[in-house]
Structures are given as C-alpha cells and as structure tokens.
C-alpha cells in the first residue's frame, strides 16, 4: 500500500530536518558561550511547567531579555495562549541548546524567536546567527513538524547603534532563509523602530537605551499581531498604488467589512486600512506605518469597541485616540480626522455604559479641535425600546449589516463634506 502523499512528504521533511540538524550543530556552537550559565533559569521553567502544565496549542516566545521583561505579554496578546520563555542575556545557541527542555515539551502550535542581538554584541557573525536559527528550526521540526516558527528581527537600539550594519546583515540572511523555506515567517520590526532621522526612536526604550519601554512593547505587539494584515496592505499597495491625497478609513473589523466603501463614496479616493479585531491603540501605534506614508487629507476612524471588550477603560479609549491624533498632526497638521461613535452592538450590550462614556470623552475632545469631527450614530442604532435595532447587524449581533452601513453612509458623507 502506497503511503499517503502528506505522510510521505512529512517523512521526507523529518529526514531532511534531522540531517540538517546534525550538520549545523557543530557550526552553530562555534564560539558560543557555555549554556550552563542559564541552568537556574531553565530549572525554574521546568518547575513552573510541572506546577502549571503548558496549555494545548500555545504560542511560545523564546529569546533574550526583551522577551523575559515582557510582563504584559498575556494581556497584549489577548486570546492567545502565550508562554514566555525569555531568559536574559541568552543567545540563539542557548535557545537551541535548551529547546529540548523548554520549547519542545510544551508542543506549541506557534513559536516566536526573539534572539540574535546578544550574539552580535558578543562578537558572533551574522552568518553564525543564521546557522543557529537554521539549527533551531531543524531541531524543532524534527520533533514538532507542524509547528509554525516566526523569527522576530534583531531590533536596533541606541546603545548598540554601532552594531546596526551587522544586525541588518543578520536580519537579511535570516529573512532570505525564511523566504526560501516557505513555511517560516519573518517579522521585520527593525525599520518601524527608527524615526524620521533614521535612528532609533527614543520613546521605545527605557533608560538603559537597550530594553523596551511600554511604547516599545506596544509597537512590537501590533507588528506581531497584525503582521499578516500589514504584509497584505504592502502587497496591495505594490499592485494597486493608493491615490494621492486619499480619504483613509482605518479601524477594526467594521471597517474591514465595509465592502461597499467605494460605491458609498463615489468620486472620493477612499483607501481601506481596516484590520479586524484591532484596538484603537493599534491604529495609534501603527500610524507611522499605515497612515503617514499615504499623506491622507481626511481620515475616518472607527475603533474602540474592541478596547472596551478587552477590559480597557473609556479613558484608555480617549488616550488612544489622542495618541493617534497627535502622531498624525505632528507630521500632517492639516489632516481632518473623523471619529465614528462606538456602536451599541447587541452582543456587547452589557458594555453600553462604558461605550457611552468613551463616546462622550472622544466627542468632548473633538469639540476643542477644528480639525476633528465626531459622528454621533449611537442613538440611530437604537429602536423605540431603547435597545439595538436587530436589522442593523448580521447574525453574530456584532458586525453591521448592509442596513447598518447604509445608516453610517450619509452621516459620514456629511462629515467629509464639511
């Protein structure tokens, strides 16, 4: 009986991975410090796993101190079963050495590798960084062939700015390997951490100019969580370049699902940059990437409901919108920004008081700036009984139906005409 094609392919991959692992181990260990210095950290991970076994289908982060210090990881990646396997000062060779003890036993469905910067700092070459990552991939695949592996690019930092060319070369080599492999993924954080002057953005780091600040982790969170969406936007921009002076719609899934956007606003150069499930904070964090390069004359924002649903306060929603406005107007002070009120969806009716408060805070903020507008659609979504009108939502009782978008359209059009 012939083996199933999938099984045969999987077997070949296992054989190849094992052979590759053997050939890479010696090269990758060259000049690497002894891993034994991390034995205490590894024992702590193993003890924690015995007390609280890793969840099934987890997302495991392994790396150095920027991973270890990511104390907000579980909150930042809400909905993901995250495991933090960061141990400060480690190199890729250490992640490889201890994979049998702190990575493979957890059997994660996804792995993010954040390492390599300490390797370069210790004098190892970009080629050795690549060799270590190849060996890590081979080792994991030999045991967990279905696990998806992502490599987070070596980040720039003010403290190690003199090492930037070697960091860039290591990133280039790994990205090339990832592209050739086809099943790996490369998350390129490097350019997003640089300012207009081409140097690391100071606000992304704490006082040591090496480790990330809260704003740095917020940027990483958005770049990792929305990596696929960002790459899709970039691909779309290459094949269908955005128009000059566009009207940019940005926000969460209700923007993504507005399929009739061009038909609803004929004659306007609309661009859709919605990414489903996102927070208003994500739009603010990614403004440098998603908004400023397009130089929009007008922006329409719909977000904030996911923030409330994730446990963020109305004040947090206001702060995120203020951050978005500040980033846009710092570079493009004439851009007009319109905020659509957070919708009272049936599935989130229990949050209605927080939604009302968030809307009021944003409306008050908009009232004090001539470049801002607040579209108050909240009451229009309520029926005579004071509850959400079912016909304005699809079956999930969260997202808008065609009738819901038809309600939005004239309100937004009026704001854009002002």
pLDDT band per the 50, 70, 90 thresholds, residue 31: low
Final residue belonging to a domain, choices 206, 225, 244 = 225
In a domain, 345, yes or no: yes
pLDDT for residue 396 is more than 60: yes
122 and 245 together in one domain:
no
pLDDT of residue 26: 45
Residue whose C-alpha is closest to residue 346's, from 313, 395, 306: 395
- CA distance linking residue 318 with residue 280, whole number of Å: 9
Task: Provide the pLDDT for residue 6.
Answer: 47
> Which residues on adjacent β-strands are paired with residue 187?
152
Q: Domain for residue 101, yes or no?
A: yes
What percentage of the chain exceeds 70 in pLDDT?
Answer: 92
Q: Are residues 113 and 251 in the same domain?
A: no
Is residue 71 domain-resident?
Answer: yes
Pair (145, 181) in one structural domain: yes
- pLDDT at 10 (0 to 100): 46
**Of 191, 189, 190, 219, residue with least CA distance to 204:** 219
What does the pLDDT average to over 26-55?
A: 81
Residue 164 lies in a domain: yes
Domain boundary (159, 193, 225) is at 225
Residue 418 or 364, more confident: 364
CATH number at residue 82: 3.40.50.1110
Q: What pLDDT digit, counting tens, does each position of 70-110 carry?
A: 999 999 999 999 999 999 999 999 999 999 999 999 999 99
Do residue 324 and residue 349 come from a single domain?
yes
- Domain stops at, among 175, 203, 225: 225
Number of domains in the chain: 2
Q: Does residue 200 belong to any structural domain of this protein?
A: yes
Residue 324 clears pLDDT 80, i.e. is over it = yes
Position 362 scores a pLDDT of 99
pLDDT of residue 2: 42
> What is the pLDDT at residue 418?
81
User: 103 and 14 in one domain?
Assistant: yes
User: Range of 39's domain?
Assistant: 5-225
Is residue 25 over pLDDT 70? no
What's this model's pTM, rounded to 2 decimal places? 0.86
pLDDT level of residue 9 (50, 70, 90 thresholds): very low
């Amino acid at each position: 009986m012939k083996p199933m094609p999938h099984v045969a392919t999987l077997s070949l991959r296992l054989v190849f991975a094992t052979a590759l692992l053997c050939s890479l181990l010696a090269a990758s260990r060259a000049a690497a410090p002894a891993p034994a210095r991390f034995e205490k950290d590894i024992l702590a991970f193993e003890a924690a796993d015995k007390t609280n076994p890793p969840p099934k289908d987890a997302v495991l982060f392994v790396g150095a101190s920027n991973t270890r210090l990511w104390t907000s990881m579980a909150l930042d990646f809400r909905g993901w079963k995250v495991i933090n396997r960061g141990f400060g000062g480690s190199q890729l060779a250490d992640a490889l050495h201890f994979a049998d003890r702190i990575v493979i036993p957890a059997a994660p469905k996804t792995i993010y590798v954040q390492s390599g910067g300490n390797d370069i700092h210790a004098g190892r070459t970009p080629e050795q960084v690549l060799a270590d990552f190849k060996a890590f991939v081979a080792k994991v695949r030999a045991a967990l062939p279905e696990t998806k592996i992502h490599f987070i690019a070596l980040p720039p930092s003010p403290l190690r700015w003199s090492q930037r060319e070697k960091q860039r070369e290591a990133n280039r080599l790994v990205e090339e390997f990832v592209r050739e492999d086809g099943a790996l993924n490369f998350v390129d954080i490097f350019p997003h951490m640089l300012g207009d002057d081409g140097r690391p953005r100071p606000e992304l780091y704490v006082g040591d100019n090496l480790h990330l600040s809260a704003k740095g982790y917020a940027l990483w969170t958005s770049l990792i969580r929305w990596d696929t969406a960002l790459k899709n936007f970039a691909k779309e921009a290459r094949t269908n370049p955005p128009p000059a002076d566009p009207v940019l719609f940005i926000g969460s899934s209700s923007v993504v699902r507005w399929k009739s956007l061009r038909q609803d606003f004929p004659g306007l150069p609309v661009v859709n940059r919605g990414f489903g499930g996102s927070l208003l904070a994500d739009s603010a964090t990614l403004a440098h990437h998603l908004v400023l390069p397009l130089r929009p004359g007008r922006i329409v924002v719909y977000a904030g409901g996911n923030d409330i649903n994730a446990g963020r306060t109305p004040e947090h929603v206001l702060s995120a919108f203020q951050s978005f406005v500040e980033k846009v107007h710092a570079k493009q002070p004439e851009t007009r920004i319109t905020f659509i009120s957070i919708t009272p969806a049936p599935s989130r009716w229990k949050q209605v008081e927080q939604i009302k408060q968030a809307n009021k805070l944003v409306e008050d903020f908009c009232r004090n700036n001539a470049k801002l507008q607040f579209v108050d659609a909240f009451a229009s979504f309520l029926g005579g009984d004071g509850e959400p009108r079912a016909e304005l939502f699809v079956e999930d009782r969260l997202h808008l139906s065609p009738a819901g978008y038809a309600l939005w359209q004239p309100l937004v059009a009026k704001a854009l005409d002002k």
